Structure 1
């Protein structure tokens, strides 16, 4: 990857993100795309159930996870190499075409499982590049001091998409079957494309290391030193700092096992950059970063302890307690309300002090509430506890997301978002079948408490690692 020379972002744009038309256009595009996604997945599940057995329908709904998990790291590289705006526009265009094509086919003929599975694979593959690009995009449309507010606004958009998408999808299926629902989803995704095209980008100026005297360049910890020398240019990565010396002969990149000689500007040949090297560079950047590495580990522990109980675990708990589907729905509504309130708080405030410490405390307190959920006496108490879980989980999730945005160098944000996405969307869902099996063996109480302990470890880690505990959002 060509070394990117990044000037420090301005401290403030003078306009908060929720009043910035550029940010609002991006948010509208994102919300429209997410509502279309929700409708599409509802229509896909309905069509799969109508076309095959429950087991076959389940397989159709899960095949999208395979390419998403396998390709997301590569998607992060794509987002950083080609720019997140281009990747997001291309991803939404592909999804729109695929969904509308399927809608047209379903109007003409009955759905087949292989066709539905193909759409699921396409969506999973596109998601692998879409999600890292979405994570990298906010840094290109607003200043650092507004990234936390944008994270809260994005959380609100996700909650609204979840609330609006399912009823719209059900209405589409009721009025015109799966074909009508897919058509509606495709049109909503299509709305996002012109909105994204209209978004103005704060492009990161690029340039080779040769001639970059006096400029700062991203390194494994975001610090760089540039010095002049004669005869050759040398880039050395050592103990998390990069030194760049510029001269007239040739350039040598020194970085342990990744060392390679390259021809310099004198011979007119740039340093070779491959996708594989970019991937290793991104992973090394995360590993050596004093905040990002423990932050992603804390997110992983929190998600592993959270996803199982709040998905399959809650269903089994409601069945055992006789709450029924309506009771479970109210509990989930309580959780969604709490999470939405946390996102709204960050969107309005824009910044919360002591972000690292506050995120850790929210994870720890939320883990206690998760464990308590298995012991509440009735559905009303469960709704109250779920509201608290949603508020704390939403707060910790928003803060962790904002810290990822503000701590990562923008040149690496695609790859950072990809690693975080693999943790949340690849590893965490694996806990759901394990949670279901464990509840069958030991019951809901012990499993919820164990899951709460795993989640709480994320908070303990965040408190124990000094740089993460002291991390702040930009003022």
Structure 2
């Protein structure tokens, strides 16, 4: 890996002496685990309320559709209005929605449709908070701090799928559903208050006021005319379409149907995913990549090869090892990808460009799920799907070794 090792203590100190980044990081430490505590509670409550698994699936669909439809709008809003205020409103709105659910629980009035409507509201909130978080970081950090800053923010996202469900499951067992949702409310409420402590400098540049549609169109034109941005967004699409669906759906199916494994076997593999990703984020928080474009493309090649091997794996432990390595490598792709996009984008366009990236990544994950489901229903084996997806990712990454503009980006 082409990187220089920095003094870790010095690197952390320079970041966390920045009060704005400190409050953004603390806010993320509250917000992301709080969301997962809510999620595990909502999922288990839905399974308890109704035996019809259609409603359980509707939880995910209800959150995905508004997120996908509104992400580009969220990017325009992020560029037109105060980013701190948007992030505050997003966290506070989610906290208040959970508080409403707590009141319904105490009144014993909760139904499956309440949870579905709540999921849709969370999806709307996500559409506005996602572009803001990634466009706010370059506004409060120096350019040379961006990689480490993104690594720490990403770290909160990797801890959350491990800590959130564990904490949520414990709270359900000890305090019941009321306890778990009160905890989620407190997490998100504290996150919103922390965000209010961020102080952004006013931009003295006066821009001509356009309609939201003109702003949205300007964002697409800006992205289309920037070869590096288009390359990064395209790689984001490829990674999420050919990787997210087959991996998320494939691992449980392989463990249960191919390895004839137990819930412990599945937990072993999924925990290795979180551990690998967390280690990757920690490594990138302590080093500076000299050639992030080269590292990203090389990492994508290795990721595709490892993913292909999963299709041929014959044991739980070997699969867990591969998954941990993939999660580590994935950080070498995702963090440089976001950092390069932040560095090469005009700050006045950051919200729109980040929303474009989120649309083709997070927003299109449900499309990957649907495509994978259709292939499985057509009789295609999940291991074959994973092998083909791994090969496609590898070939596209190899082709991008010809992308000189992407590879020559330096820290």
Structure 1 residue 92 and structure 2 residue 91: aligned? Answer: yes
Task: Provide the rounded CA distance (Å) in 2 between the counterparts of 1:189 and 1:285.
Answer: 35
Task: Provide the rounded CA distance (Å) in 1 between the counterparts of 2:396 and 2:79.
Answer: 28
Aligned residue pairs, count = 398
Q: Structure 1, residues 187-222: CA drift from partner, whole Å, max 9, x if none?
A: 1001112211112224433224xxxxxxxxxxxxxx
Match of 2:285 among 334, 338, 347: 347
Task: Provide the rounded CA distance (Å) in 2 between the counterparts of 1:129 and 1:19.
Answer: 28
Q: Which residue of 2 aligns with 1:42?
A: 40
Pairwise CA distance, 1:405: 1.6
Structure 1 residue 145 and structure 2 residue 122: aligned? Answer: no
Structure 1 residue 328 and structure 2 residue 266: aligned? Answer: yes
Alignment of 1:18-33 (within 5 A): 18-33=16-31
Pairwise CA distance, 1:45: 1.0
Pairwise CA distance, 1:146: 0.8
* Structure with more relative contact order (C-alpha pairs < 8 Å, separation 6 or more): 2
Q: Secondary structure of 1:291's partner?
A: helix
Higher strand share: 1
Q: Secondary structure of 1:375's partner?
A: coil
Match of 2:406 among 459, 464, 468: 468
Q: Which residue of 2 aligns with 1:314?
A: 251
Q: Structure 1, residues 350-403: CA drift from partner, whole Å, max 9, x if none?
A: x20111011001001110100101212322211221121111112111111111
1:339–1:395 CA contact under 8 A, matched in 2: no
Alignment of 1:221-260 (within 5 A): none
Pairwise CA distance, 1:37: 0.5
Q: Which residue of 1 aligns with 2:367?
A: 430
Larger Rg: 1 or 2? Answer: 1
TM-score (norm 1): 0.80
Compared with structure 1, are the counterparts of its residues 385 and 20 closer, same or farther at alpha carbon in structure 2 (3 Å cutoff)?
same
Structure 1 residue 187 and structure 2 residue 186: aligned? Answer: yes
Pairwise CA distance, 1:426: 2.1
TM-score (norm 2): 0.92
Q: Structure 1, residues 285-327: CA drift from partner, whole Å, max 9, x if none?
A: 1111121111110111111121123210111111121122211
Structure 1 residue 401 and structure 2 residue 331: aligned? Answer: no
1:370–1:452 CA contact under 8 A, matched in 2: yes
Task: Provide the rounded CA distance (Å) in 2 between the counterparts of 1:179 and 1:118.
Answer: 18
Structure 1 residue 273 and structure 2 residue 271: aligned? Answer: no
Compared with structure 1, are the counterparts of its residues 65 and 303 closer, same or farther at alpha carbon in structure 2 (3 Å cutoff)?
same
Q: Which residue of 2 aligns with 1:295?
A: 232
Task: Provide the rounded CA distance (Å) in 1 between the counterparts of 2:96 and 2:125.
Answer: 12
Task: Provide the rounded CA distance (Å) in 2 between the counterparts of 1:361 and 1:399.
Answer: 12
Alignment of 1:8-23 (within 5 A): 16-23=14-21
Q: Which residue of 2 aligns with 1:370?
A: 307
> Could you list the runs of 5+ residues in structure 1 that have no partner in the other structure?
1-12, 209-270
Q: Secondary structure of 1:199's partner?
A: coil
Pairwise CA distance, 1:15: 6.0
Q: Which residue of 2 aligns with 1:412?
A: 349
1:138–1:150 CA contact under 8 A, matched in 2: yes
Compared with structure 1, are the counterparts of its residues 14 and 436 closer, same or farther at alpha carbon in structure 2 (3 Å cutoff)?
closer
Compared with structure 1, are the counterparts of its residues 407 and 299 closer, same or farther at alpha carbon in structure 2 (3 Å cutoff)?
same
2:254–2:383 CA contact under 8 A, matched in 1: no
Task: Provide the rounded CA distance (Å) in 2 between the counterparts of 1:425 and 1:360.
Answer: 20
2:29–2:156 CA contact under 8 A, matched in 1: yes
Structure 1 residue 442 and structure 2 residue 367: aligned? Answer: no
Q: Structure 1, residues 15-45: CA drift from partner, whole Å, max 9, x if none?
A: 6214434312210101201111101111111
Compared with structure 1, are the counterparts of its residues 77 and 322 closer, same or farther at alpha carbon in structure 2 (3 Å cutoff)?
same
Alignment of 1:177-216 (within 5 A): 177-208=176-207
Q: Secondary structure of 1:64's partner?
A: helix
Higher helix share: 2
Pairwise CA distance, 1:110: 3.6
Greater Cα shift, 331-340 or 197-206? 197-206
